[in-house]
Chain A
Amino acid sequence: MQSKVVNMLVRFNQHSFIQAVRQTLVVLFPVTLIGALAQLVVKSCLDANGFFYNIFGIGSWLPLTWLKTLQFVFTSVTQIFFNLLGVLACFICAYNTARFYRRDAQMAGLTGVFALLLVAYRYGKNPQVALDFHMTLLSGKSLLFALLIGYGVGQLYRWKGPGELMVKKITWLDVRRQAFASLWPLLITTLLAMLVSLAINSGRFYHAYSHTYTALTSASQELRNVWLALLLSLVLAVMDWIGLGVPSSYNMPLNTPAYMANLNYALVHGSAWHVPYKFLGSTLYNSFANFGGDGLVLALVVAILLFPGNTSLHRVGRWTALPTLFNFDYSSLVGLPVILNPVFLLPFLFLPLINIGIAAGVTALGLIPATPYPVLLGTPGPLIGFVATNGNWATLIFTLALLLLDIVLYLPFVRLNFRVEDQLGRATLGGEDDA
């Protein structure tokens, strides 16, 4: 039975698109790791709502001009990494797909980027105005689209593109021939991309698309009904998994009326026990289903580090452990990977729901209070519940137990992943010798 599952998963992973995606994610991992670390600095150390900023009172000893400068320095890194991640992903995906079929990878990558930029081009009021893009399409939020475009371009090269240069010594002539042979696929791509761009610019798709995730996020914040909150968090997790999540969606609960009502109650009465909205989706989620960001990635990383076996996964886990501890999990999603990895789909989607369910139950039983107090951005996952109850020890113990449960529940999937990776590792990747 289990080997059947493993075989199925291996076959899924051997599909050329998934292979291209996984290779792309592996290549992107160092980039996203640096991005995540920079984000940790920006959001946690340099933001007025940040965790380190507050607990070390950074605002009181760091001069404002220094703070501003540091913000610029680090934000430049995160902005470029996350807002242009799609461009990088598209290049690498096209590159890998073409190489998979032994086609000229360099030109394919170039064509992929060109296609993505064309698709994202935003028509201005008149054609003479400066260059402008639908930025969401270039960002990590649209990773899936970037990967699809890259893959599509790669496939086009498989059909029409020039072959890989196999000669040891490349001459000018070879290079030039190669460039000219790419004209056809480039032309076809351009025409297609122009059409897509026309469709995007003339319809309301882009607006609807670019606002979906944010709208869902804010809707899930305001819900006072646990079940709807659960459903929405499921939808959001699915979007994260297919690569349409927002890598920078590390937000605190919004100041919605329900949240404010809870906080005000707690402040006036000095206690979190009898707030008006005990089962507020946002605070439940933030306190009990947010260990390392969406999908309890911290539990996954710990499970991997505990598990004896595949060393490359361990290496990724060790590197991403730090940002993931402070809930900046995008590098884990890319590096492990979780994105488009069917092995982790089930726990990624449902463990947060289990957590919220248990937490709501325990709250209903009156064992732990509600969690109305403000929590700083980047507070380590296991401490969030404790902080949000203004230091309720039962909540701390409950949170740690919950984390332990999540780690245990992630373990079988980690084992399965190791087996799948093992089998995949033995098969060589198409078109290249090293894995």
Chain B
Amino acid sequence: MHNLRKQLTRRSRHVLLALIGLIVILALPTYFWMKSANANLAAQRNSRMSPVIMIPGSSATMNRFNQLVEILNKRTAKKHSLLRLEVENNGKIKSTGWINRGDTEPIIVVGFQNNHDGYQNIKKQAKMFNRAFALLSDKYNFNNFKAFGHSNGGLIWTLWLEKYYHQYSDQITITRLMTLGTPYNFAETSINQPTQMFHDLVKGRKKIPKTLDVYSVAGTESYDSDGLVPEQSVEAGKYIYQKQVNHYTTMTVTGSKAQHSGLPQNKQIVNLISHYLLDNEQGPKPGPNNPNNSGS
């Protein structure tokens, strides 16, 4: 009996030793994890990069905004480098272009191999975009960014904000979003005929960050449409963003190249982008549309 007890306590000693051994063995990988994780966190926290991420509309590729960026770079002193990604259907991500060293405001365009229209495809594209975003956030360590979406690209942004953004919101802030001719209610001319997508987007709006500034720009060729998207469908965005985000501003651009697919090359729109979406070099912008004046 006594012997048995002794043996059992010895077994307890062995367990104790095993515990100590386990801690010592685990301490090493823990140390390396800690150092690299904290270094990454610090790099992100101290990063000065604030990219503009752009999503083109349906049927367009990652090259959709080449001309826009060209015009933009001609007109601003600060040159923006252009990185283009394409997410393939199998999840692989192809990239072209690069981000210049020291460029704090590069432009990153994310296109999709599956660039078809329709709610089901937009859902898939939001998911594919999330892959690309995860890659970007890993690689470039930015802690804030600006978003731009043309046409259905704006829908992908909205869906992404509602469904995926929370995965990053602790570390990465989206400061501004500009959507251009985005049909929040597809081709419907009245919100009395809400599409399934519009219904879902309104339902999920509470997930959209409250600090965001949103600019919804519509183009009109006739008095109520840009030739493809009805103005009312663009306007329907207010039922998603208004009373949820910090500011929701709508603008309408008319004149030459105000036709739906001409919009991204429209000089007026390039002006709006450089004025409202980009960080201005001369410091805070005056006026009610400036996020820095709102205390957010």
Contact = CB atoms under 8 A, between A and B. Distances in A.
Interface string A291-316: 00000000000101110110100110
Contacts of B19: 302, 321-322, 325
A318 B7 CA distance: 14
B136 interface: no
Interface in A370-406: 373-374, 376, 379-380, 382-383, 387, 390-391
Contacts of A390: 34-35, 38
Nearest to A56: B29
A137 B29 CA distance: 41
Nearest to A325: B19
B15 A318 contact: yes
A325 B23 contact: yes
Interface string A349-383: 00000000000000000000000011010011011
Contacts of A86: none
Nearest to A312: B8
Interface string A246-274: 00000000010000000110011010000
A55 interface: yes
B7 to A, nearest CB: 10
A317 interface: yes
A79 interface: no
Give chain B's interface secondary structure class.
helix
Interface in B24-81: 26-27, 29-35, 37-38, 41-42, 45-46
B92 interface: no
B5 interface: yes
A391 B34 contact: yes
Contact of B13 (A51, A305, A315): A305
Contacts of A54: 33, 37
A268 B26 CA distance: 28
A319 to B, nearest CB: 9
B210 to A, nearest CB: 15
A288 B259 CA distance: 64
A380 B23 contact: yes
Nearest to A319: B15
A322 B20 CA distance: 11
Contacts, number: 77
Interface in B94-117: none
B170 A391 contact: no
Nearest to A308: B9
Given A55-B26, A268-B45, A306 B16 contact: yes
A373 B38 contact: yes
Contacts of A311: 4-5, 8-9
Interface residues of B, number: 28
Contacts of B42: 267-268, 270
B17 to A, nearest CB: 10
Given A267-B46, A382-B23, A317 B12 contact: yes
B45 A55 contact: no
A304 B15 CA distance: 12
A373 B8 CA distance: 41
B11 interface: yes
Interface string B154-187: 0000000000000000100000000000000000
Given A55-B33, A321-B15, A383-B30, A264 B45 contact: yes
A18 to B, nearest CB: 27
Given A383-B30, A390-B34, A391-B31, A267 B41 contact: yes
Contacts of B16: 302, 305-306, 321
A386 B272 CA distance: 50
Given A318-B15, A325-B22, A387-B34, A55 B29 contact: yes
Nearest to B32: A55
A279 to B, nearest CB: 22
A54 B38 CA distance: 13
B37 A314 contact: no
Contacts of B33: 54-55, 376
Contacts of A314: 8-9, 11-12
Contacts of A306: 12, 16
Contact of B11 (A51, A268, A318, A382): A318
Contact of B35 (A255, A376, A391): A391
A387 B30 CA distance: 8
A292 to B, nearest CB: 11
Contacts of B45: 264, 267-268
Nearest to A388: B34
B278 to A, nearest CB: 25
Contact of A383 (B15, B26, B41): B26
Scoring B12, B19, B46 by chain A CB atoms within 10 A of each residue's CB, the highest score goes to B12
Sort A-B residue pairs by CB-CB distance and give the 6 closest, nearest first.
Answer: A267-B45, A55-B29, A305-B12, A267-B42, A318-B15, A55-B33
12 contacts: A55-B30, A55-B32, A263-B41, A268-B42, A302-B16, A311-B4, A311-B5, A314-B9, A318-B12, A325-B23, A380-B23, A391-B34
Given A263-B41, A305-B12, A317-B15, 8 more contacts: A55-B29, A267-B42, A305-B13, A306-B12, A308-B5, A325-B23, A380-B22, A390-B35
Interface of A: 51, 54-56, 255, 263-264, 267-268, 270, 302, 304-306, 308-309, 311, 314-315, 317-318, 321-322, 325, 373-374, 376, 379-380, 382-383, 387, 390-391
